Amino acid sequence: MATTIDFSRYPLTGWYPGHMLKAGRQMQASLKLVDLVVELLDARIPGSSRNPIFDQLFRGRPTFILLNKADLASPRVSREWTASLRKEGKKVVFLDARDTRQTLELVPAWRRAALAERSKGRTALNRPLRIMIVGIPNVGKSTLINRLVASKRAAVGPKPGVTRHNQWIRLKGDVELLDTPGVLWPRIDSKEHELKLALCGSIREETVGPELLADYAWAQLSRQDQRDVAWDTYGLEKCPETPDAFLEAIGRRRGLLRAGGAVDPAQSAAILIKEIRDGRLGRLSFDPSPA
Ligand code: G4P
């Protein structure tokens, strides 16, 4: 019988650096300057990477959602999330932001969405198209912007309501992007939510503790459709019964041994977390399909 772990008995870290609060206020101040908000979500956790503050801040504004890191997520679960987000009236696109071709295809779609907004008379017609890029940390904002601008990057200077923390970047064809810092929200309400964000790299693993995160990774893998998990990465056929047995198997496979031949669980945990993030264990989603 496999172990079950009650993660809710671990305290929340409450990690919310002050600069994130400030950045949220700056985004709100910048809102009147932009035609469209583009929110990046992590396709592995489309629900858990959605910042509830953005819904309040950007209410009524057109939002374009990018399910980024789609190459790492389960295609089936991602399709179900897309259908659910589209029901909310959002435009949703899957993305691997490292792929320049995919990123360049976004611009005409953004242009159409922004021009449709202008035709409603909400923003001035005689200025470049302005798009604000938002998302929690590590969802791929910088990767996307770097692919879009390539060598044509040009910061376009301060504008009213925008401080040095937000940066305007001009693309070809009269489009300006507002690059914003990754922000979380003040109260993450469950330990599993915090651990999911850490598993996907939006909260540093040191903040939650790498060993607890490895336990959570094991629990997540044990809940997956077992056919989707590349167990052979560690020479296994199925999920071990306990996290300790899992770390032991990883350590033996990878030769992560201390003097005396015992496995070093800390090293196994670090490898496991990195390799899940890199997709070595398969294309996995950690938020279940929406109801
Ligand atoms: P951010 O600005 O939103 O904070 O994210 P950033 O672009 O810095 O991307 C974070 C990491 O995610 C980077 O890896 C980047 O290469 C990777 N990444 C971004 N988009 C994609 C994608 O669509 N697919 C995949 N597989 N990876 C993507 P990194 O620099 O190696 O950092 P890390 O992996 O050590 O966190």
Residues 139-188 have pLDDT tens digits of: 999 999 989 987 454 444 444 333 346 789 998 888 999 999 999 999 99
Model confidence, pTM? 0.92
Q: Is 17 helix (H, G, I), strand (E, B) or coil?
A: coil
User: Mind listing the pLDDT tens digit for each residue in 50-102?
Assistant: 999 998 888 888 889 999 999 999 999 999 999 999 998 889 999 999 999 99
Instruction: Return the closest-CA partner of residue 24 out of 55, 46, 47, 61.
Output: 55
Q: How confident is the model at residue 239 (pLDDT cuts 50, 70, 90)?
A: very high
Q: Which CATH number fits domain 188-277: 3.30.565.10, 3.30.420.40, 3.40.50.1100, 1.10.1580.10?
A: 1.10.1580.10
Q: What is the pLDDT of residue 3?
A: 77
Q: What is the pLDDT of residue 271?
A: 97
**For residues 272-289, average pLDDT:** 97
Q: How far apart are CA 116 and CA 123, in angstroms?
A: 11
Tokens of 148: 């879009």
- Kindly give the distance from the C-alpha atom of residue 168 to the centroid of ligand 1, in angstroms, as a whole number: 21
- Kindly give the distance from the C-alpha atom of residue 68 to the centroid of ligand 1, in angstroms, as a whole number: 9
Q: How far apart are CA 62 and CA 4, in angstroms?
A: 42
- Angle formed by the axes of helices 191-199 and 265-277, to 10°? 80
Q: How many other C-beta atoms are found inside a 10 Å radius of the C-beta of residue 44?
A: 28
**For residues 187-202, average pLDDT:** 96
Mutation pick for ligand 1 pocket among 95, 143, 281 (CB with most ligand atoms within 8 Å): 143
Q: What is the pLDDT of residue 158?
A: 43
Architecture of domain 18-179: 3-Layer(aba) Sandwich (3.40)
Q: Amino acid identity of 126?
A: N
Residues having CB closer than 6 A to ligand 1 are: 68-69, 71-72, 95-98, 135, 137-143, 182, 201, 277
Q: Which residue has its alpha carbon closest to ligand 1 atom 25?
A: 69
User: Mind listing the pLDDT tens digit for each residue in 3-34?
Assistant: 799 999 999 998 888 888 888 888 999 998 89
Domain ranges of the chain: 18-179, 188-277
Q: How far apart are CA 154 and CA 128, in angstroms?
A: 14
287 contacts 45 by C-beta, under 8 angstroms:
yes
What average pLDDT is seen over the chain? 90
Q: What is the pLDDT of residue 163?
A: 36
Q: What percent of the chain has pLDDT over 90?
A: 69
**For residues 189-209, average pLDDT:** 95
Q: What is the pLDDT of residue 161?
A: 34
- Kindly give the distance from the C-alpha atom of residue 91 to the centroid of ligand 1, in angstroms, as a whole number: 22
Q: How far apart are CA 213 and CA 207, in angstroms?
A: 10
**For residues 259-285, average pLDDT:** 96
Non-local (6+) Cβ contacts of 284 within 8 A are 44, 72, 73, 74, 220, 221, 224, 228, 229, 276
Q: What is the pLDDT of residue 70?
A: 98
- Kindly give the distance from the C-alpha atom of residue 22 to the centroid of ligand 1, in angstroms, as a whole number: 24
245 contacts 238 by C-beta, under 8 angstroms:
no
Q: Which residue has its alpha carbon closest to ligand 1 atom 31?
A: 278
Q: Which atom of ligand 1 is nearest to the CA of 99?
A: 23
Q: Which residue has its alpha carbon closest to ligand 1 atom 24?
A: 69
Tokens of 105: 């295809």
